Structures are given as structure tokens and as C-alpha cells.
Amino acid sequence: MDSEIGTEIQKLTALAKERGMTAREISAADIIVSQWVRFKCRYGCKGYGKHFGCPPYAPSYEETKRMVGEFSTGLLLRFDGVPGHKKFGPDDIPEDFHPFYADLIKWVNGTVHLLEKTAFYDGFYKAFGFGGYPCIWCEHLHCVAEESEGIVDESLRRKCRHLDIVRPSMEAACMDVFATALNAGWKLNTIPCKDMEYGKIVHSDIVSIGLVLIE
């Protein structure tokens, strides 16, 4: 590995540690991009079509596959737990659970953006990050995509309130998070839900994953 990239990886890893999570270098070849991931977003996720960081507005399988192929190195980020909610069960989670996880989503996506920005200003101008979960930056407002009636195309993205910090999640961009994390030595497990009810997870041992590509 190039010594300059190695030094930058060390810097970003230390910065990640300061923010309470861990990071591991990963070869871009070990980032798994799969067609099936988009189907999980399209059929089953209540956030589908409601955020510019999510499908159908996120990069397609073909776009992501080509883009990842232009990099050699990535930094995989692991976030354990949910800020503000040390231990909880299914009965503690409100029906509208998006705000419940707001601090977690900000932690993940905020860290991804910080590391990408740091690498960029250190001279690694190709650096690009992928977060997790639906975007939360508007928080008390709906995303422009959700507010709009009818077809939403790329021309509407210019009205995004947070153009500078919105990034697609790994899963939105067709990355197999489970397989990619395993390639970095982290075995992830699905979390059962009470009565298999969407969102009512039975325990709070949540692991979230983000990625920053560097070249």
C-alpha cells in the first residue's frame, strides 16, 4: 500500500476512535456489490423513495460496481449500540421509530462525512463515503423527495436542504453490508423482531456499518 494512503488510514482510524467507533482498512475488491440488495430496499423498507440518499435516487448496481472499481482501498467503520438508548426492547420502540434512532443515524452519517472531508482536504480528492440508514438531516421536516407529488427526478435534487452532507447508505447503493463486513472480519447477525413486526427489534445490540473509499 502507498505510504501516503497508509498514513492517512492511520489518521482516519484515530479520528474514528475519538468518535467512539472502530475502523478497519479493507480492499475495494472485498466490497461486495449485489443486485439483490436493491430489492430489499424496494420491497420491505418504509423509507423507499422518501429520501435522496435512498433508492430509487441512490446509485444503481451498475454505477456502484463501476465506481468501487476505481478505488483500491476503503475504511470500513463499525458503530456499536444506539446513542441515548443503552438498553431497550421492542416495547420501548415507538411506532414512528425513525426519530428514535436519530442520534444513531447522525453518528454514523456524520462520522462518514467527517472522515471523507478530512481525507479530501488532506489531498485524497477522490475520497467518498457511504453511510447507513435513511437520511435524518432534515429531522423535523420531510425530505423534498417525500414532500413532492408525482415523479421525482434528478433535477429536484438541487432543492435538497443538505446537498453538502447527504451521502447514499451502503445498502442503498447495492452494497452487501453483511458480506463486506465479514470480509473485514466482522460477522453481523440479523436482529429478530417481536412477532416479526417491522421495527420491533428484540434487543439493543445493534451494529451499524459505514464506509469511506480512499485513493
| Strand (E) or helix (H) holding 113 | helix 102-121
Report which of residues 118 and 157 the model is more confident about: 118
Mean predicted confidence (pLDDT) in 177-203: 94
Strands, E, within 13-116: which ranges?
22-27, 73-80
Mean predicted confidence (pLDDT) in 27-41: 96
The 3-state secondary structure of 74-89, one letter per residue: EEEEEEECCCCCCCCC
Q: What is the largest CA-CA distance in the chain?
A: 51
What is the β-pairing status of strands 22-27 and 207-214? unpaired
Q: For position 137, what pLDDT does the model report?
A: 92
Which residue type is seen at 118?
T
Count how many domains the chain has.
1
Share of the chain above pLDDT 70, in %: 100
Find out whether 116 and 127 touch, Cβ atoms under 8 Å. Answer: yes
Which residue type is seen at 145?
A
Q: For position 3, what pLDDT does the model report?
A: 86
Mean pLDDT of the chain: 94
* Domain coverage including residue 43: 3-214
Report which of residues 23 and 86 the model is more confident about: 23
What b/e sequence results for 82-106 when a residue is b if at least 16 CB atoms lie within 10 Å of its CB, and e otherwise? beeeeeeeeeebeeeebebbbebbb
pLDDT exceeds 80 at position 1: no
Report which of residues 130 and 100 the model is more confident about: 130
12-21, 151-160, 196-205: the lowest-pLDDT one = 151-160
Find out whether 53 and 146 touch, Cβ atoms under 8 Å. Answer: no
Report which of residues 199 and 179 the model is more confident about: 179
Mean predicted confidence (pLDDT) in 25-44: 95
Q: For position 129, what pLDDT does the model report?
A: 98
pLDDT tens figures, 108-154: 999 999 999 999 999 999 999 999 999 999 988 889 999 988 888 88
Report which of residues 186 and 149 the model is more confident about: 186
pLDDT tens figures, 62-99: 999 999 999 999 999 999 999 989 899 999 999 888 88
Q: For position 82, what pLDDT does the model report?
A: 94
Q: For position 123, what pLDDT does the model report?
A: 97
User: Model pTM?
Assistant: 0.93
Find out whether 206 and 104 touch, Cβ atoms under 8 Å. Answer: yes
